[in-house]
Amino acid sequence: MAYISNWVRYMAHKLEYSLTLGLKNHTQGRVIDREFISVVMKNLLYGRITYLNSVKGEGMAPTMGSHDNTLLVRKLPDVDTRVRFLRPSRCLVFCLSGYVSVGDAVVLKDPNETHKYLVRRLAALQGSEMVSSDEKDKPFVLKKDQCWVVAENKEMKSKEAYDSRSFGPVSLADIVGRAIYCMRTAVDHGPVSNSEFSMQKDSPILAVELDVDELAKDHKA
């Protein structure tokens, strides 16, 4: 029964993802009206909500190892801080995926090298007042669609940690996914700790799409 429940929840998330991605592509002019349904159905039937990503994790210890890590990342095609809904008709209402919370380990574009990606912990969202421990720095409030991300390694000094303390706030649009499982070594791996809300949403995806053997093969490669 639990297995069936996971599959039902997984397919609901897959539909959310397919609609969100289709709507984003439609808004950007990549998909015309008559193609929208077919694109959504293609993603629903054949697509995956996750992908594998290999990264070095010194800044995210102990969640990640200091050397190469293989992550299972949940795709977030259109990130937001609030739950949004799509109502294609009076009878149908869909919750669009892409919600992130403080505490999530997010994958984002490197602000200085946009072809590269970082994994950092989401520490604050738009509207939050940021106060520095250095009295010379004036407090400021994160603007709309901005967020603050930090490295997790407490042994690293703030100047050594490559995060918002060095490159400043980042746009939510630069977040492409949420890390949900990490393989540090072949014998040291497990789910990534995220916000309670996100872990509840990600649990059926882990149950269906996680393939430890596939992670191990990618990690070894």
Q: How far apart are CA 81 and CA 99, in angstroms?
A: 5
Q: Among 81, 84, 85, which Cα is nearest to 104's?
A: 81
- CA-CA distances (angstroms) from residue 111 to 43, 92, 108, 172, 190? 29, 39, 9, 12, 28
The pLDDT tens digits of the residues spanning 27-57 come to 888 888 888 889 899 999 999 999 999 988 7
The pLDDT tens digits of the residues spanning 109-158 come to 999 998 999 999 999 999 999 998 878 889 999 999 999 999 999 888 87
Do 182 and 192 form a contact (C-beta atoms < 8 A)?
yes
- CA-CA distances (angstroms) from residue 168 to 141, 149, 155? 12, 9, 21
Do 54 and 219 form a contact (C-beta atoms < 8 A)?
yes
Do 61 and 182 form a contact (C-beta atoms < 8 A)?
no
pLDDT exceeds 50 at position 86: no
What pLDDT is stored for residue 103 in this prediction? Answer: 96
Q: How far apart are CA 182 and CA 71, in angstroms?
A: 5
Three-state secondary structure call for residue 139: coil
Q: Do the bridges between strand 140-141 and strand 129-130 make them parallel or antiparallel, or are there none, so unpaired?
A: antiparallel
